[in-house]
Structure 1
Amino acid sequence: MSSEQELLKTVLEPLLEDFQYWFSRSRSLLESERLSFFTVEEQAQLLEQVKKSQQEVSTAQMLFKATDGQAGIESRMLVPWHHLVAQCWDVARRWRELKAQDSQS
Structure 2
Amino acid sequence: MSNSQPSERELLNTVLKPLLEDFQYWFSRACTLLEKEPLSFLSPEEQSNLLQRVKQAQQEVTAAQMIFQATDGQAGIEASMLVPWHKLVAECWQVSMRLRSLKQEQG
More helix by share: 1
Does 2:81 match 1:77?
Answer: yes
The C-alpha deviation readout for 1:19-69, integer Å capped at 9, x for no partner, is 000000000000001100101100000000000000000000011011100
Structure 2 partner of 1:26: 30
SS in 2 for 1:42: helix
Return the index of the structure with the highest Cα Rg. Answer: 2
Residue 102 of structure 1, aligned match among 81, 101, 106: 106
Structure 2 partner of 1:41: 45
The answer for unaligned runs of 5 or more in structure 1 is none
When normalised by structure 2's length, the TM-score is: 0.93
Deviation at 1:102, TM superposition (A): 1.4
Residue 59 of structure 2, aligned match among 55, 59, 70: 55
Structure 1 partner of 2:3: none
SS in 1 for 2:74: coil
Letter in 1 for 2:97: R
Question: What's the C-alpha RMSD, in Å, of the aligned pairs?
Answer: 0.8
The C-alpha deviation readout for 1:7-28, integer Å capped at 9, x for no partner, is 0000000000000000000000
Query: Runs ≥4 in structure 1, deviation > 3 angstroms?
Result: none
The answer for unaligned runs of 5 or more in structure 2 is 1-5
Residue 18 of structure 2, aligned match among 11, 14, 20: 14
